[in-house]
Amino acid sequence: MFNKTDVIETIDMIEKEHLDIRTVTMGISLLPCIRESAEKTAQAVYERVVKQAEGLVPTAEQLSREYGIPIVNKRVSVTPVSLITAAFPEKSPLVARALDRAAATLGIDFLGGYSALVHKATAEYEKRFLSTIPEALATTEKLCSSVNVGSSRSGINMDAVKRVGELVKETAALTPGGLGCAKFVAFCNAVEDNPFMAGAFHGVGEADCVINVGVSGPGVVQHALSFAPDADLTEAAELIKRTAFKITRAGQLVAKEAARRLGVPFGVVDLSLAPTPARGDSVAHILEELGLEAVGGHGTTAALAMLNDAVKKGGVMASSRVGGLSGAFIPVSEDIGMIEAAERGAITFDKLEAMTCVCSVGLDMIAIPGDTPASTIAAILADEAAIGMVNGKTTAVRVIPAPGKKVGDTVNFGGLLGRAPVMPVHTGSAEKFISRGGILPAPIHSFKN
């Protein structure tokens, strides 16, 4: 009738190993909200988001109780706002605040999509939109913002990269402790169906309204590996695949059911291992379980490559549609293993960069000295975007130049955002390189037609 072992395994995963659905994210197109003025557009945006997503929080809570699995975040992603406010870009913060009000009305955790896609060029309206991002982040609570600065097909828009460096500094100055930077990410090869923040937005190629689900469960993978201390890496990869399959099946179930009850199409399951600052919910500890003394040491990149691949292979089999970022996240402040390794100096900025070559995203939630120049932040992004462009993967930068903080200090973001020791960055200037601007050409292997 039922398999006792399976029942106990599921309950242990949820109660002892932090298995959860990290997010149910509703993607909503804002294209029908464009009006002749910013004020009317903001009102239309508020009304549409509240109407489309009114059932999101109650439905997610109901599913959570029925299946006995926590659904940690309920979120909304919207069409990149730069497209909605193209006729009056300076007034985009009105839409930002309308979205934030909608988020408060709905009781959701975050709303993403205060975004611009400028990977090939920055149009005039986009330049003016980009300038509003610091104000938008400083005057809202739940709004997240992102910019796509490059792609494998188009190359890297280095003028946009330079501008993002400045925007990060401005945002840090305008928000207490630089917290606004935790809600801002710059991408290369941004995906249109990502349910995770800060980079979620609803692409223009998407349906009018969809449900995307992000799963989690690094603790479950670590726990499974702890029973196979002597397994070789082939066997370990198999074990991770099997575990990722189970985790993703839970996500698929919730995604399909949420979509059905809300009467909107199911989009994708994002097969990510997303850590939290809680002990037992760490991607870093999985890598250490595989045999590394400390994450950040030699061998870390190889271990992460294996983990990331095994998560994808196990997850793809478990879901009818996968998408988003799908892989292992390595945010520093949101992972207790990363935090402790950074505090001990075991993991460095350069090793994190190497790890982003093989994980699913990029340099994430890293506190850097408050006096880091904008050109250095832009150069960090240029490096990261180059990795993404050449390797045909998504990469991203979310760094926090914490005002007044220096190496050795710690920045506390609170909640799921965690805490981060300020990490040193290279001090050699990239000013001249960054000020050149232009387009960094796409690699020859991107011409696939």
Cβ 213 to another protein shortest distance, Å = 13
Contact call for residue 3 and another protein (CB under 8 A): yes
Contact call for residue 253 and another protein (CB under 8 A): yes
Contact call for residue 301 and another protein (CB under 8 A): no
* Given 225, 250, 342, 389, the residue binding another protein (CB under 8 A): 250
What stretch of H or E contains 305? helix 300-318
Please give the Cα distance from 73 to 105 (Å, whole number): 15
Output DSSP code: residue 2. -
Find all residues with CB under 8 Å of 345, minimum gap 6, and list them: none
Residues in the chain, overall count: 449
Name which of 31, 74, 85 is nearest 209 in CA terms: 31
Cis check for the bond before 198: say yes or no (omega within 30 of 0): yes
Contact call for residue 61 and another protein (CB under 8 A): yes
Cβ 54 to another protein shortest distance, Å = 18
End-to-end Cα, the chain, rounded Å: 54
Place of tokens 């990722």: 244
Cβ 2 to another protein shortest distance, Å = 5
Crossing angle of helices 218-226 and 233-262, rounded to 10°: 150
38 and 93 Cβ atoms separated by less than 8 Å: no
Please give the Cα distance from 322 to 252 (Å, whole number): 9
Cβ 57 to another protein shortest distance, Å = 13
From 60-68, 228-236, 343-351, 378-386, give the range in contact with another protein by CB under 8 A: 60-68
* Given 16, 65, 260, 279, the residue binding another protein (CB under 8 A): 65
Cβ 68 to another protein shortest distance, Å = 4
CB closer to another protein, 91 vs 249: 249
Cβ 236 to another protein shortest distance, Å = 21
CB closer to another protein, 2 vs 447: 2
Contact call for residue 416 and another protein (CB under 8 A): no
Contact call for residue 22 and another protein (CB under 8 A): no
155-157 and 439-440 strand pairing = antiparallel
Contact call for residue 55 and another protein (CB under 8 A): no
Contact call for residue 68 and another protein (CB under 8 A): yes
Cβ 270 to another protein shortest distance, Å = 17
Contact call for residue 298 and another protein (CB under 8 A): no
Contact call for residue 69 and another protein (CB under 8 A): yes
Cβ 360 to another protein shortest distance, Å = 22
Please give the Cα distance from 375 to 164 (Å, whole number): 9
Report the 10 Å Cβ neighbour count for 414.
11
* Given 4, 432, 445, 448, the residue binding another protein (CB under 8 A): 4
Please give the Cα distance from 81 to 93 (Å, whole number): 10
Interacting residue ranges for another protein, rule: CB under 8 A: 1-4, 6-11, 61-62, 65-69, 246, 249-250, 252-253, 257, 317
